[in-house]
Structure 1
């Protein structure tokens, strides 16, 4: 099972200047690579979704950071958890991703979701349609991305997206195309999109029962369209807090309780010493998970090194 880490893309104003904050994020990515993590991941927001005072935190833009990290690392995979479908036209997103795949020598995973944070949409001038519309738009985007990563010339006539002879060269490095991870738990629409277009799925903070149920639905939906479900990589996103001992980890979690619920970390994430987390990762793998992406309560180098002990 592979292990990825969310990068410290969000930081408190006044904590350090922007250059120092960005260099810290880069340092964490490079250390994750050196420690043997399989991926580093970025979120796609314009401001904090966790802080009640939105202006109190600063955030580096997702895709600009992805491109920079592609050049500041050499082996580790890079992805988004997740790109907001509404923020970029899919033809542009396809071109951006193809370019980053070249910059990274074929290490990109494009993670995408329907979007959810209404306040962020309206503040930045984006329309916020209802969830059925956003999901239909996501389905059209998935088709356009796959087409522009594989076809010589792309034509697409959808309800929301029209493409008339778009050319995307280079298409990237990975074959047959850049992998597309579709995130979300919705059973009536999202998981059907995963089955039809996804190269990976991602569920946020799932319980063991939820994982088994969602994976079974993906297998069912793949069977209905004649697709091998083994083609879809099964990933989850969890919160984590690691310490030298279990009590130390719990104390650290209590100190950041505004960001994470201790009970939620214990039951749906990773909480404890490296040995405790190693067993938890084993249990998660037995459920069929192929990759765990961890959002640490404190994304610093000591915590990263402790977490690495859980899978070495």
Structure 2
């Protein structure tokens, strides 16, 4: 199972040192320790439910941050978990992801969803259309991304977006393109989009004995069968939290439970900002999970 660190809280832990240097330190530790990825949340106001109220603590713009982290790391994958589709016009968003991929040597991941944060949208003047329209825009953005990444410069005319010549140069380094993760588990619109367009889905660690995860993945398998796509092509990602003071053995046991549910990749958040100690716990867990996997072969 892959383990990634997800940064939702950018608050500084040490007022004597800069936010950038502190963030780089934890990303570099993840990079050295062999974690698969570093994800950041894509908001303009603090959205961590365990943090302060929106606007009261630091929040960094996602793609500028990822570019900075790309320069400070060498192997860890980088992406947003996830970008709201209405935050940026499609061509600009796809260019940002492609630029990240090119400059990082093929390490970009494309996390995308419909968005939800009405308070943030109102505070910052961001568009947040009705939910059905956001899903339409999500699908059109995915179609545009795949066109641009395959070099198709023919005009694109959708219901919400029109591009006369969607040029995607330079092409991404990742082949065939940066992996696409669609956030959310809605059964009417989200999971069908995952089945059609995504390389990864994102489910949530709900304390119900795995019932919800089993149900959602079962739905996804059925949708893949309907369109003739191998279910195994889609990476199953779960978002979970490293609890304060949680031991490495405890977390490894939890990951074993995820694997039994069919999960391939866990993205891990913390309560508050990441620390050197919490990153070390995650790295140690990744090592133990890899060792257990090698013993099973």
TM-score by length of 1: 0.86
Post-superposition offset of 1:311: 2.8
Instruction: Tell me if structure 2 keeps the 8 A contact 1:274–1:310.
Output: yes
Please give the per-residue CA displacement for 1:120-156, whole angstroms capped at 9, x wherever unaligned.
Answer: 1122222322211111111111111111111231422
1:236–1:293: 8 Å Cα contact kept in structure 2? yes
CA RMSD of aligned residues (A): 1.7
Measure how far apart 1:194 and its partner are. Answer: 0.4
Distance 1:201 1:278 in 2: 22
Q: Distance in 2 between matches of 1:308 and 1:75?
A: 15
From the two aligned structures, give the one with the greater strand fraction: 1
Task: Verify the 8 A CA contact 2:8 2:41 in the aligned structure 1.
Answer: no
Segments of structure 1 that go 5 or more residues without pairing to the other structure are 243-248, 250-271
1:31 paired residue number:
29
Q: Distance in 1 between matches of 2:102 and 2:168?
A: 13
Q: How many residues align?
A: 282
Structure 1's 52 and 308: CA in aligned 2 closer, same or farther, altered over 3 A?
closer
Aligned counterpart, 1:303: 278
1:203-260 CA-to-partner distances (Å, cap 9, x unmatched) read 2333511111111111111111111111111101111125xxxxxx2xxxxxxxxxxx
Given that residues 148 and 154 in structure 1 are in contact (C-alpha distance below 8 angstroms), is that contact kept between their aligned partners in structure 2? no
Measure, in 1, the Cα distance between the counterparts of 2:248 and 2:52: 32
Distance 1:141 1:31 in 2: 34
Whole-angstrom distance in 2 between the partners of 1:154 and 1:6:
37
Sort the Cα spacing of 1:205 and 1:280 in 2 relative to 1 into closer, same or farther, 3 A: closer
In structure 1, what is the equivalent of residue 86 of structure 2?
86
How far the C-alpha of 1:15 sits from its partner, in A, is: 5.6
Q: Secondary structure of 1:173's partner?
A: coil
Residue 67 of structure 1 corresponds to 67
Deviations 1:85-140 (A, max 9, x none): 11111111111111110111001111011000011112222232221111111111
Does 1 or 2 have the higher relative contact order (CA < 8 Å, sep 6+)? 2
Aligned to 1:277: 251
Contact preservation (8 Å) 1:8, 1:25: no
- In the TM superposition, 1:1-312 aligns within 5 A as 1-7=1-7, 9-11=9-11, 16=15, 20-49=18-47, 50=49, 51=51, 53-206=53-206, 207=208, 208-241=210-243, 249=245, 272-297=246-271, 298-312=273-287
> 121-130 or 61-70: which moved more?
121-130
Q: Secondary structure at 1:237's aligned position in 2?
A: strand
User: TM-score when scaled to structure 2?
Assistant: 0.90
Unaligned runs of 5+ in 2: 288-297
Aligned equivalents of 2:59, 2:85: Cα separation in 1: 19
What is the DSSP-based 3-state SS (H/G/I as helix, E as strand, rest coil) of the residue aligned with 1:167? coil
